[in-house]
Amino acid sequence: METRKLLDGVLKQIKPTDRKLFKEINEFLKKLNSEIKKSKTKAKAVVGGSIAKDTFLKGDHDCDIFVKFDCSYKEKDISCMLFKILKPFKAELVHGSRDYYRVKNMINYEVVPVLDIKDPKDAVNVTDMSPLHVEWVRKHPGFDDEIRLAKQFCKAAHVYGAESYIKGFSGHVLDVLVIHYGGFIKLLKASRKWKDKEVIDPEKFYRKSRKDALEQLNRSKIDSPIIIIDPVLPERNAAAALSYEKLELFKKAAAEFIDRPSQEQFIVKQKTAEVLRRGAGKDKLMILDVTPFTGKEDVVGAKLLKAYQQIYNQLKFYDFGIKDAGWSWDKKDKAMFWYILDPKDLVPIKKWVGPPLEEKERVQNFREKHVKTFMEKGRICTYVKRRYIRAEELADDIIRNDDYLYEKVKKVVRQ
């Protein structure tokens, strides 16, 4: 009872109350459908995504619009056809698996061309199935607020978004999970029992579930830690983008909430230098201010992730103990990488363990490279001088001299 009261309090904070949003969307749809009619194209614009499902959050002013083209246009370039229709709207082209368009008003619209299919097998592009996902959610009424809670919870845990630089839970995946388990709390409890390669099959396409699914799905589709059989297309793993790291963060947050429910776990906390310093305590905190390149969000984000991982891997390679690390980005022109490290500098000399003694040729090569060697536990060893004893020295060297880093970001400055 107390938990339900807590969740009702969260919903009051995250559930939209401004009905003007729908008036604006309806006016946009009316104008767009009028332009479609003028063009004499067999198509219709409809609302899609979380607004169509009524699972969107307060302050979320992005709206998906699907322009459903008749299947007689199957061989046509419907993106190009849509571009001509959208000329009065000053639409911005966005490249994707099928090009779509962005229109900025009071609300940001993403206008996506799709084929008006009834059977997923008729899809030419994965986006053609998006309206079918909306229909599936609508067939399971009563979960709108539960899905809102799941979304906000995942945003606060920094595991929301299937983009390549996030590798978290997509909105569609959360729709499926909440409906499958029968609610937000039931999902959190179920996650504690998930095993590696757990198969979640809401429509029971695979009778023997895990075994059948893992045998029949393409290997490239089962790399994710859990496999969610898409309720619309059984050949698709809806959770293919999810990483092990983000799943573990979710499971940890879920366990903490079940054990000690708190509204704090629904608050998205931005990582600032001040917050990080408080969290680091006596440990060493290294913060890097990063200027990304401009470009498509997914591409820029992926480059930032690679740059962050490059520095992380170098710190590990040179034996710096990383207690925590992460990165943030305002999706514009500012990003920040942080690394919380053991407070003590490394000792200047380290033991270097060489090959086993039975590998005589490699042992001989090792002796030729190192003046003083010794045997330990059946291997040849030596002592070498460390290149870096302070993490800051390594970071500064990377920032000054690593050209590979600047293929991914424009500028890096250590605070």
Tell me the per-residue pLDDT of 229-238, one tens digit each, with 9 for 90 and over. 999 988 889 9
How many residues are given for the chain? Answer: 415
pLDDT higher at 210 or 321: 321
Eight-state DSSP code of residue 292: P
Does the structure show a pLDDT above 80 at 257? Answer: yes
Q: What percent of the chain has pLDDT over 70?
A: 99
Does the structure show a pLDDT above 80 at 216? Answer: no
pLDDT tens digits, residue range 13-22? 999 988 788 8
d(CA 180, CA 254): 17
Output the DSSP codes for 245-266. HHHHHHHHHHHHHHHS--GGGG
How far out from the chain centre does Cα 288 lie?
22
* pTM (two decimals): 0.85
Does the structure show a pLDDT above 90 at 354? Answer: yes
Task: Write down all domains in the chain, each with its CATH number in brackets.
Answer: 18-129 (3.30.460.10), 144-266 (1.10.1410.30), 273-345+389-414 (3.30.70.590), 349-385 (3.30.70)
Write the single-letter amino acid at 156.
Answer: A
What does the pLDDT read at residue 72?
95
For 148, the enclosing helix (H) or strand (E) is: helix 144-156
d(CA 195, CA 207): 19
Collect all residues with Cβ–Cβ distance below 8 Å to 246 and sequence separation of at least 6: 159, 166, 167, 168, 169
What does the pLDDT read at residue 235?
87
Which class for 40: exposed (0-12), middle (13-18), buried (19 or more C-beta within 10 A)?
exposed
Structural tokens at position 309: 């991982």
Instruction: Give residue 196's pLDDT band: very low, low, confident or very high (50, 70, 90).
Output: very high
Does the structure show a pLDDT above 90 at 213? Answer: no
Q: Give the residue from 24, 263, 52 showing the smallest Cα distance to 144.
A: 52
pLDDT tens digits, residue range 259-304? 999 999 999 988 899 989 998 999 999 999 999 999 888 899 999 9
Q: What percent of the chain has pLDDT over 90?
A: 84
